[in-house]
Amino acid sequence: MLGHDKVSFLHLPTPLEYLPGISQDLGVEFYIKRDDLTNLGVGGNKLRKLEYLLKDAQDQGATMLLTLGGAQTNHGRLTAAVAAKYGMKCAIVCVDDYPGELSANLLLDRLMGAEVVLKKDDGRPESVQFAETAAAVKARYEAQGEKVYEIPIGGSNDIGILGYFECAQELTAQAKEMGISDAAVYAAVGSIGTYMGLFCGLRESRSPLGLVGVAISPFLDAKEKRIVEYFNSVKQTFGLTCDAVREDFRIEKDYTRGAYNNPCKEVRDAVRYMARREAVILDPCYTGKAFAGILDMVREGKIQKGSKIIFLHTGGLPGIYTRHHRVEFEKELIDGVTILD
């Protein structure tokens, strides 16, 4: 893609499925793109990015992948998966507290052999703490003879957009085949790489599909600045012919529920609704929050009846097992557990 090769470890294309129950309830045509079904380490969007990042790492002779994130980073888990599969070492550096138990992504990271380094937040800018801690971990492994390839948070650098640039083409072809080329793709937005890949892929190929990003954490000035700079950097790196200004990026910012990965009832309701209606499991941090936003947009009339929606399921399943979400789900669901003496 765009002159870059990848290590092809995914079974693509992922399915694009029609969800009849949700479509009927909402009065829209609701489709779901199952990137949660990507095939390593429980799946998720980061694997498409990692196909390209791994190739770059191999080309540089790396023996180890090092990445950054929160203690429950899905991207870290999938970096660990790729490292395990390709016989590389892996370290995940987090500026975070130990969540009190080895569960969810953290458990899977360790199962797949990654070292997780948790640096307690000391109040200085997070970027400084990440840089210092990552440099120390890198130096430690280099002293053991490893060649370390660093991947930024969420895999969201220029190379990291290639996977979703490719996915945009995949989606355009699938939508055409299914007669839904006038649909809009809805995707959760975190570190912006997934959105940027889709945006550039759709725009560069003049795809008829629309694109809406749903921010899952407050989209503040730094992200406003980042999204434009990111596009310009990608355009320059890959010689894209398309142009864009801030107004071209449609990011819905009103559905973040105030913070990143916070437990909230509307999101749990949306996760439960999707599970009971379509047997598709969303996660409480990204996809559940984005889906709760879509439900609000339908209620508010921002998404009109009869619209065609393609919801990108970006994975994140292990998040449901993190303690702070699990205890809230338990309070709401325990009534359906019958205990017989």
Ligand X SMILES: Cc1ncc(COP(=O)(O)O)c(C=O)c1O
Residues that bind ligand X (CB under 6 A): 44-45, 74-75, 154, 156, 188-195, 283, 286-287, 314-316
Q: State in angstroms the smallest separation of the CB of 20 from ligand X.
A: 24
Q: State in angstroms the smallest separation of the CB of 70 from ligand X.
A: 9
Nearest alpha-carbon partner for 33 in 184, 182, 214 = 184
Q: Give per-residue burial for 33-52: e unless 16+ CB within 10 Å, then b.
A: bbbbebebbbbbbbbbbbbb
C-beta atoms surrounding 208 within 10 Å: 13
Q: State in angstroms the smallest separation of the CB of 291 from ligand X.
A: 11
- How many whole angstroms separate alpha carbon 97 and alpha carbon 100? 8
Cβ-closest position to ligand X: 316
**Nearest to ligand X of 175, 192 (CB atom):** 192
3-state secondary structure at position 246: helix
Q: State in angstroms the smallest separation of the CB of 93 from ligand X.
A: 15
**Nearest to ligand X of 190, 293 (CB atom):** 190
Nearest alpha-carbon partner for 120 in 96, 153, 94 = 96
The answer to whether 136 and 129 have CB atoms below 8 angstroms apart is no
Sheet strand arrangement including 210-215: 16-18, 29-34, 308-313, 184-189, 210-215, 251-252
Q: Hey, which residues does 169 pair with through a beta bridge?
A: none
The CA-based angle 50-124-72, given to 5 degrees, is: 35
**Nearest to ligand X of 141, 271 (CB atom):** 271
Q: State in angstroms the smallest separation of the CB of 183 from ligand X.
A: 19
**Nearest to ligand X of 158, 283 (CB atom):** 283
**Nearest to ligand X of 203, 313 (CB atom):** 313
CA quadruple 312, 249, 192, 194: dihedral, nearest 10: 40
Q: State in angstroms the smallest separation of the CB of 3 from ligand X.
A: 22
- How many whole angstroms separate alpha carbon 320 and alpha carbon 327? 10
**Nearest to ligand X of 74, 322 (CB atom):** 74
Q: State in angstroms the smallest separation of the CB of 44 from ligand X.
A: 5
Q: State in angstroms the smallest separation of the CB of 191 from ligand X.
A: 3
- How many whole angstroms separate alpha carbon 108 and alpha carbon 288? 21
Instruction: Report DSSP state, residue 15.
Output: P
**Nearest to ligand X of 41, 316 (CB atom):** 316
**Nearest to ligand X of 118, 178 (CB atom):** 118
